[in-house]
Amino acid sequence: MIIKEGRAIIRTSIDQREIFYNPRGRFTRSLGVAVVAAESSIKRRKIDVADVLAATGVRGIRYYLESDSVNVIFLNDISKSAYKLIRENLRVNRVERAEISCLDANLFLAQRFREKDKLDFIDIDPYGSPAPFIDLAVSAVKVDGLLAITSTDLAPLCGIYPWASFRKYGGKPFKDEFCHEMAARILIFALQQACGRRERFAETVLTCYSEHYLRIYARIRRGKKKFPKEDIGVMYRCLKCLEIFVRRIDNPLEKCPLCGSRLNVAGPLWIGNIHRKEFLEQVGKFVERVYEIKDRDRIRSFVKVAISENDYPPYHFDISRASKRLKISSPSVNSVIEKLRSIGFRATRTHFNPTGIKTNAPYNELLKIIRELSIA
């Protein structure tokens, strides 16, 4: 089969064998084009980019063709059929500056250990968990380079299999309305742990959840003294009053401070910011590079919401779910935000959930407002 995505024309099969291609990942690939262009602008030069689990090669080929920012694109896949298909897709799309390899992803990354071989931008987009690749990816990217990590194994990270999450990522979630944000924060914590083992630390510049994909972009810095331990913590939710509490990892809770009831516990996880405003603004400047016109407005909308949701508590509330708990009709998200702001609280939308709100208001206060707006 032949598909067209962005500027790329991609064959998805070779020798009667179909190679994995997920059309639902198109938006994340379009966003990635703008990210690569933004990173090149920040570096003030074209950058070397690697997709180490390339499959058809669509992601890397789109980066090369659309961003106008790639010096050399490195495409790797352990499948011999994928390797042959990538070679063909590079030829069809006239990608001149490319290097392809047929290696285990970790072997490809291990070969980038020497400083002169490290890359500006490494993309880890596996089918399933990225956990096996994070450690070596941290070593293979240049200092101040960018690492992109995708997770599609959200069942563990969202609390369906919490101990599987703990085993893979070192953080245990619980099921809740903000599970996708919690998943992102556990993934960021896992990245920080990998960085810490190499006297590095990560600055998460962009986090995106879409179409059951979770994707983080992080700048990898050097230094052990700057390791952001103050942004690693634990999240609690009271099983009775449903209030949420966030504590640094060295300041735990044993019971609910408000009603004394038992607590659901998640962590360790990242409790700091999950975006960098300056980087998001740079991404917004390069939306026009994205050839998929239908994705441009969505990227602009995402950037706007992502900027607004920064500097808030590391969770959000779902207005629809809160209304169901109260057994009343759900007010509009905007009306709840306006009411919260009018009485002195901060509030905004979140990209994680179309009916979600990030706010510094207690949950009990939010329920009062939903009741008032529903009656009105």
Burial (CB < 10 A; 0-12, 13-18, 19+), residue 291, is middle
Q: What is the DSSP string of 185-196?
A: HHHHHHHHHHHH
High-pLDDT (> 70) share of the chain, %: 100
327 and 184 part of one domain: no
Q: CA-CA distance, 201 to 217, in Å (whole number)?
A: 13
152 and 294 part of one domain: yes
pLDDT digits (tens, 9 = 90+) for 343-366: 999 999 999 999 999 999 999 999
The CATH code of the domain that includes 328 is 3.30.56.70
Q: CA-CA distance, 47 to 316, in Å (whole number)?
A: 36
Q: What is the largest CA-CA distance in the chain?
A: 66
Total number of domains constituting the chain = 3
High-pLDDT (> 90) share of the chain, %: 96
Q: CA-CA distance, 283 to 38, in Å (whole number)?
A: 5
Q: CA-CA distance, 376 to 373, in Å (whole number)?
A: 5
109 and 183 part of one domain: yes
The owner of tokens 């009053």 is 241
Burial (CB < 10 A; 0-12, 13-18, 19+), residue 353, is buried
Q: Are 49 and 62 in contact (CB under 8 A)?
A: no
Q: Are 230 and 221 in contact (CB under 8 A)?
A: no
pLDDT digits (tens, 9 = 90+) for 226-254: 999 999 999 999 999 999 999 998 899 99
198 and 243 part of one domain: no
Average pLDDT estimate for 1-7: 96
Q: Are 52 and 76 in contact (CB under 8 A)?
A: yes
Q: CA-CA distance, 281 to 42, in Å (whole number)?
A: 11
pLDDT digits (tens, 9 = 90+) for 111-140: 999 999 999 999 999 999 999 999 999 999
325 φ/ψ angles, rounded to the nearest 5 degrees: -65, -35
Q: CA-CA distance, 276 to 35, in Å (whole number)?
A: 13
Beta bridge mates, 246? 235
187 and 300 part of one domain: yes
Q: How many CA atoms lie within 13 A of 100 on its CB side?
A: 24
Q: CA-CA distance, 172 to 182, in Å (whole number)?
A: 10
Q: In the predicted model, what is the mean pLDDT of the chain?
A: 97
117 and 148 part of one domain: yes
Provide the token pair at 212: 């059951």
Using the predicted structure, report yes or no on whether residue 212 has a pLDDT greater than 90: no
Q: CA-CA distance, 167 to 312, in Å (whole number)?
A: 28
The CATH code of the domain that includes 173 is 3.40.50.150
Average pLDDT estimate for 90-101: 98
* Residue span of the structural domain in which 239 resides: 231-268
Q: CA-CA distance, 57 to 21, in Å (whole number)?
A: 9
**What integer pLDDT is reported at residue 376 of this predicted model?**
58
Using the predicted structure, report yes or no on whether residue 225 has a pLDDT greater than 90: no
Q: CA-CA distance, 67 to 62, in Å (whole number)?
A: 8
Burial (CB < 10 A; 0-12, 13-18, 19+), residue 362, is middle
Average pLDDT estimate for 59-80: 98
Using DSSP, state whether 13 is helix, strand or coil.
strand
Using the predicted structure, report yes or no on whether residue 374 has a pLDDT greater than 90: no
Which of 309, 334, 363 marks a domain boundary? Answer: 309
84 and 208 part of one domain: yes
282 and 261 part of one domain: no
pLDDT digits (tens, 9 = 90+) for 157-198: 999 999 999 999 999 999 999 999 999 999 999 999 999 999
49 and 125 part of one domain: yes
Q: What is the pTM of this model?
A: 0.97
Of the listed ranges 89-98, 173-182, 224-233, 330-339, the least confidently predicted one is: 224-233
54 and 107 part of one domain: yes
**What integer pLDDT is reported at residue 27 of this predicted model?**
97
302 and 348 part of one domain: no
Burial (CB < 10 A; 0-12, 13-18, 19+), residue 105, is buried
**What integer pLDDT is reported at residue 375 of this predicted model?**
74
pLDDT band at 152 (very low <50, low <70, confident <90, very high): very high
Q: What is the DSSP string of 130-183?
A: -HHHHHHHHHHEEEEEEEEEEE--HHHHTTSSHHHHHHHHS-B----TTHHHHH
365 and 287 part of one domain: no
